[in-house]
Amino acid sequence: MHSLKNSRQDVLLVLVRHGQSEVNTKGIFSSSRDNYPLTEKGREQAGAISEELKKLNVSKIYSSPVKRAVETATIISTNLGLNFEQDDRLAERGFGSLEGTSYSNYSWRMKKEEYGVEEFGILCARMNSFMNDLSNGVVVAVTHGDTMRAPALRMLGLDETSGFGLRAYNANIAVIQIKDGWHALIAFGMPMVSEELLKKIPERFLAVGPSN
């Protein structure tokens, strides 16, 4: 658990990684806001996770302004009957000179600062800023892999290197509870809102109760 500035929050934050997009199938780094839409599989993934989110009493939806996230949020919001807002703090990590290049050209051991990649600490700071501004209730935020990992790693007390293996695949979720100035990671990298997860979530956030 980590302290937040806002001590009056009572929030269940569900971070959703966007569905599969052309960035994923091409295996490239890109933070472009206008390119690389969802694939057909990605649209199906967004539809599937939106059905899972109906188990929660969602009151607000936000999205990264990047196209693949906006398309995912559009599918989710349509299925849940809610509008969504774009927030720059949920945007993809800036990749500097790696933009548009292939993953396969680089090792995970590379020194990201040499390529102008957005620093891990900056990712954490903008995600903390986003979380601290949330109103009460269940909030869904459609974002990207690194922006999901950043707050989760901080809550686990890990840096980016030691937490390298923590991964969320396309349309996976992370669940964070924010209560009275604290936040706690409840789940990470799940493709569904399972019965076991429902049992860990306070009843006030549920649209349906867990099975006995």
- Catalytic member of 18, 60, 89, 183: 18
Q: Is 144 a catalytic residue?
A: yes
Q: Is position 2 annotated as part of the catalytic site?
A: no
Which member of 67, 89, 144, 183 is catalytic? 144
d(CA 180, CA 190): 26
Pairing of strands 137-143, 58-63: parallel
Residue reference for tokens 């901080």: 154
| Whether 115 contacts 96, CB under 8 Å | yes
Taking the C-alpha atoms of residue 167 and residue 150, their distance in angstroms, rounded to an integer, is 11
Alpha helices by DSSP H, listed for 133-194, are 145-156
Q: Where are the alpha helices (DSSP H) in the chain?
A: 22-26, 40-53, 67-80, 120-132, 145-156, 195-200
182-190 and 58-63: which strand pairing?
unpaired
Which residues are marked as active site?
18, 144
